[in-house]
Chains A and B, each alone.
Chain A
């Protein structure tokens, strides 16, 4: 199949509001975008930017005011398109009276698998997302992280070619986030297309071939993460412990914060090795060294303030 995984052409969504539903609020404004087969594509933007609206339009949960979209060549209003996609909603919630195994078996039935095939698949995907031990526990007893894992399992259970994940890392602890990243990597290795929305720049940087930035329903840029979003390091944070705080170098004065028994200091990146050497000399124990990056929120605020696109969506959408 030559067609792109996702082709979006002028997709627009207006919501009626007010008592008489006469006022219209534009949630997505003429989005044109193309995602290639096998790409991991990140959808970035602040809250209310239109990320979820886009994903809901592509999965057929809401209907466009204008524009069209095709997934692997099929229009989004064609029910056969749904065989090709998997979808993890934001903060997913499922039938809490079912067990993890029953939930996946229920969803698998929509794809016409035989009973033995369903059993095999359900067991395999429960294992993949780390829910094998909770397979026979009712979902009402699941934690938020477990629900997220169940949500990922149901999204990929039928081997979809294109997988939409709406904020897949939200509500997960660091271990859970790493596991989700591993799953996305695995899907990419299998040649699947993954389209996911996120607030977290480092996730996008680690996972995505390309990202799109959406602000106020408008596409502000598409490209490789480094091209679109400035990821430059603003400094280094060193966390350390010392029993001789009085021996700390003078250059640390005014930059050091005391947190319990630990100290935190921010230094410019070029001074990192000198600072570490000075800390070694006063017998400090280094706990961590972390690069300081701009927060996504700061980046988006900057975008909104500048009012300029960060790239040229028209050029990129021609891919």
Chain B
């Protein structure tokens, strides 16, 4: 028992969020979360064999559509169901008590939990993308230039997952997993139709309704622009402006939500 506090302070880098993130990833792996890949693989193998048999020139379209949709749905399920328990599970199981007595700030804990789930989603999505590439190669026997748009579609799915995870984490800081799931799913669904809601407001003659739909449009995350599955399955080129706009939008939104989550969680009593 000889190391002094002073020497630890000199040598200690503030990388505690990374420590929490790695443990969160390990938790997901040990809880067999990545087993969903087996189900995804079965879907892709089944689809590839089926499409190979009915071959009417739309193999690529079907496989890409199905694969990207599956990647999106599997990712969303993980982001929401694990995300809503990121904080509440640690409180409920009281594992947080020992952890927060260590030199870690609450926001560092939150960033770590968030980063850990994001890492899990990144690994999961990457492996599913490899599965999709395998199925695509099986049915069309080659890759073409337009296939690059699939990677952009996957990238946009990841941005969406980053946003959804941040929302789930935010609700997890003060609500139960069931309610957090409802809130997150609710916001996601409204976010998909954000543009439609705004347009609906414009066609009504009611000024209050117009203001309300506009507020919803600007306040809630707009998930509509992240969905390019259809364009990718047709091999269409993805404009560069959309890529950086979506990246910036997601990054800013995530930062704002994480700041809000930190503000809520930093003042919360762990009874």
- Which A positions have Cβ atoms within 8 angstroms of B? 15, 56, 59-63, 79-80, 82-89, 91-95, 97-98, 106-107, 109-113, 117, 151, 154-155, 158-159, 161, 164, 190
| Residue B196 CB within 8 A of the other chain | no
B residues 1-56 touching A (CB-CB < 8 Å): 1-3, 5, 8-9, 11-13, 16, 19, 23, 26-27, 30-31
Q: A95-B23, A95-B27, A97-B31 are in contact. Are A111 and B8 (CB under 8 A)?
A: yes
Min CB gap B19→A, angstroms:
4
B103 contacts A60, C-beta separation under 8 Å: no
Cα of A88 to Cα of B102 in the assembled complex, Å: 11
Q: A112-B12, A159-B1, A159-B3 are in contact. Are A80 and B103 (CB under 8 A)?
A: yes
With CB as the reference atom, state the residue of chain A lying closest to B92. A93
Cα of A92 to Cα of B16 in the assembled complex, Å: 22
Q: Mark B89-122, 1 if CB is under 8 A from A, else 0.
A: 0000111011111111100000000000000000
Q: How many A-B residue pairs have CB under 8 A?
A: 93
A86 contact set on B, CB distance < 8 A: 101
Min CB gap B38→A, angstroms:
20
> Closest 4 interchain pairs by CB?
A112-B12, A87-B101, A97-B30, A62-B269
Min CB gap A76→B, angstroms:
11
Min CB gap A139→B, angstroms:
10
Q: A15-B271, A97-B27 are in contact. Are A110 and B103 (CB under 8 A)?
A: yes
A94 contact set on B, CB distance < 8 A: 95, 98
B19 contacts A110, C-beta separation under 8 Å: yes
B11 contacts A59, C-beta separation under 8 Å: no
* Pairs A–B under 8 Å by Cβ, sample size 22: A15-B269, A61-B100, A61-B269, A61-B270, A79-B104, A79-B105, A82-B102, A85-B101, A87-B98, A87-B101, A88-B98, A89-B98, A92-B98, A93-B93, A95-B27, A97-B31, A107-B98, A107-B102, A109-B16, A109-B19, A112-B11, A161-B5
B101 contacts A59, C-beta separation under 8 Å: yes
B94 contact set on A, CB distance < 8 A: 89, 91-93
| Residue B57 CB within 8 A of the other chain | no
Determine which of A79, A83, A107, A161 lies in contact with B8 in the assembled complex, contact meaning CB atoms within 8 Å: A83
A161 contact set on B, CB distance < 8 A: 5
Q: A84-B5, A92-B94, A154-B98 are in contact. Are A63 and B104 (CB under 8 A)?
A: no
| Residue B186 CB within 8 A of the other chain | no
A112 contacts B13, C-beta separation under 8 Å: yes
B98 contacts A83, C-beta separation under 8 Å: no
Min CB gap B113→A, angstroms:
13
Min CB gap A273→B, angstroms:
47
Most B C-beta atoms less than 10 A away, residue of A112, A158, A159, A190? A112
Q: A106-B23, A110-B16 are in contact. Are A82 and B104 (CB under 8 A)?
A: yes
Cα of A89 to Cα of B93 in the assembled complex, Å: 12
| Residue B267 CB within 8 A of the other chain | yes
A111 contacts B271, C-beta separation under 8 Å: no
B2 contact set on A, CB distance < 8 A: 159
B8 contact set on A, CB distance < 8 A: 83, 111-113, 158
A97 contact set on B, CB distance < 8 A: 26-27, 30-31
Cα of A85 to Cα of B101 in the assembled complex, Å: 8
A159 contact set on B, CB distance < 8 A: 1-3
B103 contacts A83, C-beta separation under 8 Å: yes
Cα of A95 to Cα of B116 in the assembled complex, Å: 15
Q: A83-B5, A111-B12, A112-B12 are in contact. Are A93 and B100 (CB under 8 A)?
A: no
Min CB gap B98→A, angstroms:
6
A117 contact set on B, CB distance < 8 A: 3
Cα of A233 to Cα of B271 in the assembled complex, Å: 38
With CB as the reference atom, state the residue of chain A lying closest to B102. A110
Determine which of B5, B31, B100, B267 lies in contact with A63 in the assembled complex, contact meaning CB atoms within 8 Å: B267
With CB as the reference atom, state the residue of chain B lying closest to A159. B1
Q: A95-B23, A110-B103 are in contact. Are A61 and B1 (CB under 8 A)?
A: no
A89 contacts B97, C-beta separation under 8 Å: yes
A87 contact set on B, CB distance < 8 A: 97-98, 101
With CB as the reference atom, state the residue of chain B lying closest to A72. B5
